[in-house]
Each structure stands twice: as C-alpha cells, then as structure tokens.
C-alpha cells in the first residue's frame, strides 16, 4: 500500500536471498510480510526469528569452520605485499590470485600500463617475517592483460638475511597462510554483516512511520548485527585484516583453539578442548575439573534427596604437584561453595558422602593423592559479601521430634553454641583445611586448646613427655592439674632425640612440643620426632603457634595433633583470644565431649574475627618473615648482642631442619644482650616505637623480657632448662 516500503521490500528480499544465515532470511521475510500488511504472519515469522537468533551466532561460527575445512579447494587472494618482493613496477597489478592446488599466481594487469610484463620477475623473495602468506616454492605466474595471457615461472625463496631458520620459516609461513585464509573468510563475513547493516539503515531511512519502525524493532535488529560484528571483528574501516591483525590472530586462536591444541571427543561426538600452552584447559587441570564436576553431581543429587533447594554449587580446587617430572598431583583440596536454601549440616553431609562414598574420580585419585575438602554455604537472604556473625546462644528446633533427634545424635544440626555454632564452624573448617587435617575444634584461648587436649586424651596413671622449651602456662598445667590427677610427666631436651628413649614408659601416651619454641625459637625435627612417636605408639602433639599453618603443617610431617593459640598470628592484630585443635576425625571425636561439657568454647564473635583474619594470614606472615630476618641479621652484627635466635639465620644450628619443615622463619626473634638483665631493662626502657606487652603476633612490634614476665612462674632451674636466660629479649 505504500510505494516506499515496497521498494524496501525488494531490497530486503534481495539481501535475504543472498544471505547464508537462515535466521536473517526469516527475519527479512517477516519484515516483508509486515510491509505487505500481514502483521499476523509477520509476528509468527518474527518469533521464529527470535528463537533461531539464539543459535545464529553458533551457526555463524560453524559456517566459518565449515568454510575453513573446505579451504583446500578454495582460491585465495593474497596480499599486495607481494609487490615489494617483485619490484616496484608491480603496483599496477590489479589483483593477484594464488591457486593453492595448482600453484599458480594469476596477475591481472592494468591494460593502460603494458610495461608490466617485462618487469614481472622470474624470482622473488619472501619478506623477512610475516607476509606474503604463501610458502616458498616454485609457482607459475599467469599474467593477463586484456585478452592477452602470458605464463612465466616464479621461484619464491626464503630471504637468506632472515633471522629465522628455514625450517622455522616453513612452519611459520604455513601457519601464517592458514591464518591469513581465516582472516579472509572473516573479512567476508564482516562484509556480509556490513551489507545487512547498511540495508537495514536504508530501510530505516525509507520508512516514514516512526511508530511502525519501533514496532518492527529494526533498531534492535541493527544492534544485534552490530553485536555479532563485534564478536567477529575488532576494528572498523575497510582494512579489517591489516589494521587488526594481532587482535584477529588472538580472536581466531580463540575461535579455533588451534595452537598447541587437542580435542577429545567421546563416542557421542561431544568434545573438550585441551591445550598445552594455556589457550585452553590443560590436561592436568581437566583432572581437577573432572573431580569437581563428578562430586558436584553427587552433592546436588544428595542435597535434592535431602529436600534442600540448591541454587548453585561451585568447587574451588587446589592441586599441589610434585616438583619433578611427571609432576603428578600429590595433594588436592576441594572447597565447595553451596548457595540456595541449604542447611549447613545437610551440605556438610552431602559433601562428605560424595568424598567418602560416591565420587568416582576423587575416590580413584585418593589412592595416590592426599585429598582434603571443606565447604561453605550460602549467603543469607541479604546477600552479604562478608560472612555474617551468628551471634546466638541457642538454635530453634522444628518440632519435638527434631529436638529429640538432635539431642540423640540421630540428626545433625546446631543445638547450643557451647556445642556448635556456624561462625565457629566456619573458622574450624578453614583451620582444618589450612593445616591439612580432617577436623578442628576451636577453643576460647590457646591454653584452653592445650588443656582440653590433655584432659580428653590422658587418664590417671598415664605418662606424658613434654619438651623443655614450651610456653610458661603449659608447664603450669602439668604441675597444677595433671600432677594432682595422677598423670606423670617428664621433660625432654627437644634437641637431643637420642636421650628420649630412656624416658619412654609403657604408660607414655603423648609427646608434646613447640616448634619453633617460645621464646628460645628452638626448631625440632618433626619428621624424626614423629618417627620416634610412631615407633613407641605415642601421639605427637605440636604447638604450631609460632609458625602458623602458612609456614608449617605438622600433620604433613606425621604429627597427630596441631594446636594453636589463635590469639597470636591467626588474629594477627591483637584483638581477640582463641585456640584451635586440628587432627583426624577420630581424635577430634575424643576431645569434642570435653568441649561440649566443660565448655571452653570459642565465642561466635571471636570466630568471626579470626575467620576474617585468615584471609590476610599469608600476606601478613610473608611480611613478618621478611622483617624478622632483616632484624635478626642486623642484631647478629651488633657488638652488644651475645647471640640471636632465628630459625632462618644461616648461622642457626637448626637452620637445615627449619628449612626442611618451614616455608620461612616466622615473625619472632629472640636475642641475648651481653650486659645481662640490666642491659635488657635499659633496652626495653629506651624503646620509642615498640610496644612493651605480653602478646605476640601483632601487626605492631612487641618486645618482652620472658624471665620477668611470661616465664616468671618457673623456677630459675626450669628457666635455664628452657633456654631462658636473664638477658633474653623476645621481639
């Protein structure tokens, strides 16, 4: 009814019939229907278009790949760089065609310049690096000028002045040519898109009725085309290939993944892309991904069976590989992040069941790889970024049966925060993961962790071996409590393992030590100690407070329990008290009833602070270690200092052991002043920036004098045995 759209319709149908894309054809036909005043048919076509548009991009890529596969028989125009190699006269060449299968160059000469035939050389050189995009070799040149045709041989050689070897050049040129062909195809596709775009624009210009325009969503279509164009090309202007070659290379590499790349295809024809140069997933990464995918399927299925509304499951996997080839995985840690309306205890159960019973990939790998796991559940309905604090003393039960089942240990869940609390549990899970243990119990203080462990694992008549070099209050537990309950103990010189056997009794249950020790910084060989303990059937407990799990993981060296005063580096900023016991599930189960009933539990607030602190543990420890080593080195050269204790000083007698079991020396330095106690007092009182305080592991430097503070309750003999002299300063 309107002559203008009628004209547009012709243009559209022309484009549509030329277009290789089914979706576009449909859309243009839809437009045509509408212009013919048949909105119903147009709407139907448009819906078809919208549906097919979803796949259009995919088909576009398939089309390019298909074209690429057909390349063998395809003619390829080559770049005008040939001109430089064949002599300046060739600028009059109109175009040059390289026929791959026949090795023929077809040169069409501008008839206005007859000289060209004479100047077409018999031989040419490839330029030094990239183009022209044909391999060296012998070619036939067919030169056409109007109706005349001349044939000559052309020998293309690699430029002898090139810095690349001939072999390299061959590979490079072949690859470059492949790439060039792809770019040509890409340019073709972009050209088609350009045509579609300009046609759409002209239709828009031709249509007067703006409302109709809107209805047709032509603008939206133009935008979709523009988006498609952005996927295919990164520059505007005519010379897509030249101007954007580096970006195109990258895009093409992404599209085809052809560089050092391998595809695995199963019998159903489904493919995974692998790569040896980070362009795609590496084969070893795919192993981790397979474990994550396999167990995610279990976790989702299990949680659904437990009637939990799972939204997403993400698994972060860390794989530690051996240093030497074949660099197999030695350790894997899977951390699950489960979102949705999922109860924490259900998530824990599902993850555990997957890891222990169902996940074929992990269970297969577990035969040679040490696999650990942890999890965290969803954000609350407020979608907070940082974990909230569950500041609640108790939890509500669904009904009488739920309450009964929880108390009877028939169901998992929180009852009362002295038993379990989600904030505390989060901290415990993180500590267990960091230490490489199966489980963790968080306690109110470091001393509570030590006491809870002794109280749970020792009975009247049992015997304990304890290093002479431990924290002052730890000694007091022996004297003031274990002693009155009929538990005996002997102190061992931590550096003299040969002397320990004589002290072992049939009743010896535990060996307790600190490494590095407070404050003498003795380093004890964990591997040798754990071998000793295994030989005598003794459990080894290591106070890992000074090293933190970032620098040292005692369980990896065979210890049974790692203990922390979280008050120190775990908090790291001198704010809250806390402790942690990390071990296997069996030992943790023996200690848990003491926690539940005696109650030295960690407060949810402290757990929240400590859990946040763990996020910066690595960074803080790295800096502590750098600073401490620098100070220790300086102190060692100071004439007023008698000696310096620092595990990573090369002069330290235990340096080799420290280097074997610790990542770095830690943040503590202790040293003896030549002037004894009086010099110590003077030093402490002369300080300007350093705090005089009874803590350690703070971001602010702290100095103390152990003999008159932390270890003052020991007898002078006990202090001497623990290496605490009167002039010892701890920094």
Ligand X SMILES: Cc1ncc(COP(=O)(O)O)c(C=O)c1O
Residues in touch with ligand X (CB under 6 A): 445-447, 471, 514, 518, 543, 545-546, 565, 567, 577, 579
Q: Which is nearer to ligand X, 49 or 471 (CB)?
A: 471
Tokens 């100047």, located at residue: 119
Rounded least distance, CB 563 to ligand X, Å: 7
Rounded Cα gap, residues 285 and 264, in angstroms: 14
Nearest partner of 422 among 449, 384, 444, 393, judged by Cα: 393
Rounded least distance, CB 447 to ligand X, Å: 4
Is residue 13 helix, strand or coil?
Answer: helix
Rounded least distance, CB 602 to ligand X, Å: 11
Q: Which is nearer to ligand X, 85 or 514 (CB)?
A: 514
Q: Report the run of H or E that residue 321 belongs to, with start and end.
A: strand 309-321
Q: List, in sequence order, every residue forming a beta bridge with 514; answer none if it has no partner.
A: 543
Nearest partner of 471 among 649, 704, 629, judged by Cα: 704
CA dihedral sign of residues 284, 286, 289, 293:
negative
Q: Which is nearer to ligand X, 495 or 702 (CB)?
A: 702
Strands 463-467 and 508-514: parallel
Q: Which is nearer to ligand X, 294 or 545 (CB)?
A: 545
Closest residue to ligand X in the complex (CB): 446
Rounded least distance, CB 512 to ligand X, Å: 11
Q: Which is nearer to ligand X, 518 or 583 (CB)?
A: 518
Rounded least distance, CB 336 to ligand X, Å: 30
Q: List, in sequence order, every residue forming a beta bridge with 74; answer none if it has no partner.
A: none
Q: Which is nearer to ligand X, 579 or 666 (CB)?
A: 579
CA angle 579, 582, 585 (to 5 degrees): 135
The pair of three-digit structure tokens given for residue 716, joined into one six-digit string? 């002078």
Tokens 């505390």, located at residue: 424
Q: Which is nearer to ligand X, 543 or 726 (CB)?
A: 543
Rounded least distance, CB 366 to ligand X, Å: 34
Rg of the Cα atoms in the chain: 38
DSSP-assigned letter for residue 281: B
Rounded Cα gap, residues 568 and 702, in angstroms: 12
Q: Which is nearer to ligand X, 315 or 521 (CB)?
A: 521
Q: Which is nearer to ligand X, 338 or 521 (CB)?
A: 521
Rounded least distance, CB 731 to ligand X, Å: 14
Determine whether 210 is exposed, middle or buried from the number of CB atoms within 10 Å of its CB (0-12, 13-18, 19+). Answer: exposed
CA dihedral sign of residues 401, 403, 408, 410:
positive
The pair of three-digit structure tokens given for residue 561, joined into one six-digit string? 């329990």
CA dihedral sign of residues 225, 228, 230, 236:
negative
Rounded least distance, CB 353 to ligand X, Å: 35
Is residue 488 helix, strand or coil?
Answer: strand
Tokens 């972009």, located at residue: 190
Q: Which is nearer to ligand X, 446 or 494 (CB)?
A: 446
Rounded Cα gap, residues 464 and 455, in angstroms: 12
Q: Which is nearer to ligand X, 344 or 514 (CB)?
A: 514
Rounded least distance, CB 592 to ligand X, Å: 19
Rounded least distance, CB 591 to ligand X, Å: 16
Q: Which is nearer to ligand X, 521 or 644 (CB)?
A: 521
Rounded least distance, CB 575 to ligand X, Å: 12
Rounded least distance, CB 273 to ligand X, Å: 51
CA angle 93, 96, 100 (to 5 degrees): 160
Q: Which is nearer to ligand X, 445 or 661 (CB)?
A: 445
Q: Which is nearer to ligand X, 35 or 542 (CB)?
A: 542
Nearest partner of 182 among 76, 111, 81, judged by Cα: 76
Q: Which is nearer to ligand X, 345 or 514 (CB)?
A: 514
The CA-to-CA distance between both ends of the chain, in Å, stands at 93
Q: What is the largest CA-CA distance in the chain?
A: 117
Rounded Cα gap, residues 217 and 213, in angstroms: 6
Is residue 379 helix, strand or coil?
Answer: coil
Q: Which is nearer to ligand X, 176 or 563 (CB)?
A: 563
Rounded least distance, CB 517 to ligand X, Å: 7
Q: Which is nearer to ligand X, 458 or 547 (CB)?
A: 547
Q: Which long-range contacts (CB under 8 A, 24 or more apart) does 90-97 make?
A: 90/116, 90/119, 90/120, 92/116
Rounded least distance, CB 408 to ligand X, Å: 34
Rounded Cα gap, residues 491 and 511, in angstroms: 10
Rounded least distance, CB 346 to ligand X, Å: 33
Q: List, in sequence order, every residue forming a beta bridge with 124; answer none if it has no partner.
A: 156
Q: List, in sequence order, every residue forming a beta bridge with 672; answer none if it has no partner.
A: 643, 728
Q: Which is nearer to ligand X, 423 or 518 (CB)?
A: 518
- Distance of CA 318 to CAs 285, 288, 534, 611, 653, Å? 10, 8, 30, 20, 35
The pair of three-digit structure tokens given for residue 387, joined into one six-digit string? 């974990």
Is residue 336 helix, strand or coil?
Answer: strand
Rounded least distance, CB 472 to ligand X, Å: 8
Rounded least distance, CB 710 to ligand X, Å: 7
Q: Do 441 and 588 meet the contact criterion of CB atoms below 8 Å apart?
A: yes
Backbone angles phi, psi at 392, to 5 degrees: -140, 140
Tokens 């309107």, located at residue: 2
Rounded least distance, CB 54 to ligand X, Å: 59
Q: What ranges make up the beta strands (E) of 42-114?
A: 76-77, 93-99, 104-109
- Distance of CA 411 to CAs 349, 358, 400, 401, Å? 11, 21, 13, 10
The pair of three-digit structure tokens given for residue 144, joined into one six-digit string? 């056409």
Helix 446-457, helix 585-598: angle, nearest 10: 110
């Amino acid at each position: 009814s309107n002559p203008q759209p009628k004209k547009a319709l012709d243009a559209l149908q022309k484009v549509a019939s030329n277009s290789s894309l089914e979706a576009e054809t449909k859309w243009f036909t839809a437009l045509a229907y509408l212009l013919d005043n048949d909105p119903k048919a147009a709407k139907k076509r448009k819906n078809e278009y919208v549906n097919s548009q979803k796949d259009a991009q995919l088909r576009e890529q398939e089309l390019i790949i298909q074209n690429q596969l057909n390349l063998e028989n395809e003619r390829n125009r080559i770049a005008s760089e040939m001109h430089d190699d064949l002599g300046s006269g060739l600028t009059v060449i109109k175009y040059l065609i390289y026929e791959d299968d026949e090795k023929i160059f077809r040169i069409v000469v501008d008839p206005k310049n007859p000289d060209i035939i004479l100047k077409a050389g018999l031989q040419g050189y490839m330029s030094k690096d990239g183009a022209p995009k044909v391999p060296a070799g012998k070619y036939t040149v067919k030169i056409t000028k109007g109706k005349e045709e001349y044939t000559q041989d052309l020998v293309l050689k690699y430029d002898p002045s090139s810095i690349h070897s001939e072999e390299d050049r061959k590979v490079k040129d072949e690859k470059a040519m492949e790439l060039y062909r792809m770019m040509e195809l890409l340019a073709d596709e972009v050209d088609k898109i350009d045509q579609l775009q300009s046609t759409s624009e002209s239709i828009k210009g031709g249509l007067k009725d703006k409302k109709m325009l809107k209805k047709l969503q032509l603008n939206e279509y133009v935008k979709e085309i523009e988006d498609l164009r952005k996927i295919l090309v990164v520059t505007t202007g005519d010379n897509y290939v030249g101007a954007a070659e580096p970006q195109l290379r990258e895009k093409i590499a992404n599209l085809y993944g052809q560089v050092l790349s391998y595809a695995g295809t199963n019998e159903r024809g489904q493919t995974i892309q692998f790569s040896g140069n980070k362009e795609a997933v590496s084969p070893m990464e795919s192993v981790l991904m397979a474990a994550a995918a396999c167990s995610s399927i279990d976790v989702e299925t299990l949680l659904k069976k437990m009637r939990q509304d799972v939204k997403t499951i993400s698994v972060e996997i860390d794989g530690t590989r051996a240093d030497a080839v074949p660099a197999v995985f030695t350790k894997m840690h899977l951390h699950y992040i489960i979102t949705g309306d999922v109860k924490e205890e259900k998530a824990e159960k599902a993850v555990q069941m997957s890891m222990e019973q169902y996940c074929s990939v992990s269970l297969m790998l577990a035969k040679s790889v040490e696999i650990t796991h942890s999890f965290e559940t969803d954000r609350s309905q407020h979608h907070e970024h940082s974990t909230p604090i569950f500041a609640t003393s108790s939890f509500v039960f669904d009904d009488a049966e739920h309450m009964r089942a929880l108390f009877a240990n028939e169901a998992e869940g929180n009852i009362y925060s002295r038993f379990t609390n989600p904030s505390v549990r989060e901290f415990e899970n993180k500590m267990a993961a960091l230490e490489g243990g199966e489980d963790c119990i968080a306690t109110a203080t470091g001393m509570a962790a030590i006491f809870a462990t002794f109280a749970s694992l020792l009975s009247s008549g049992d015997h304990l071996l304890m290093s002479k070099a431990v924290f002052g209050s730890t000694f007091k537990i022996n004297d003031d409590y274990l002693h009155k309950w009929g538990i005996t103990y002997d102190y061992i010189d931590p550096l003299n393992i040969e002397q320990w056997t004589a002290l072992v009794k049939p009743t010896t249950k535990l060996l307790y030590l600190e490494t590095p020790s407070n404050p003498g910084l003795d380093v004890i060989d964990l591997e040798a100690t754990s071998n000793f303990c295994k030989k005598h059937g003794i459990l080894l407990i290591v106070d890992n407070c000074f090293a933190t799990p970032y620098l040292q993981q005692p369980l990896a060296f065979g210890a049974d329990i790692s203990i922390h005063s979280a008050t120190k580096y775990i908090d790291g900023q001198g704010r809250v008290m806390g402790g942690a016991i990390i071990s296997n599930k069996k030992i943790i189960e023996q200690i848990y009833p003491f926690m539940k009933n005696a109650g030295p539990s960690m407060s949810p607030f402290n757990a929240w602070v400590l859990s946040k602190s763990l996020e910066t543990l690595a960074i803080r420890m790295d800096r502590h270690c750098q600073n401490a080593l620098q100070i220790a080195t300086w102190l060692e050269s100071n004439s007023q200092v008698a000696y310096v204790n620092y595990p990573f000083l090369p002069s330290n007698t235990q340096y080799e052991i420290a280097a074997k079991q610790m990542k770095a020396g830690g943040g503590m330095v202790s040293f003896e002043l030549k002037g004894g106690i009086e010099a110590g007092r003077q030093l402490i009182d002369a300080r300007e920036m350093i705090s005089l305080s009874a803590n350690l592991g703070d971001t602010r430097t702290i100095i103390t004098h152990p003999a008159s503070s932390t270890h003052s309750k020991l007898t002078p003999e006990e202090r001497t045995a623990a290496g605490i002299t009167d002039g010892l300063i701890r920094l």
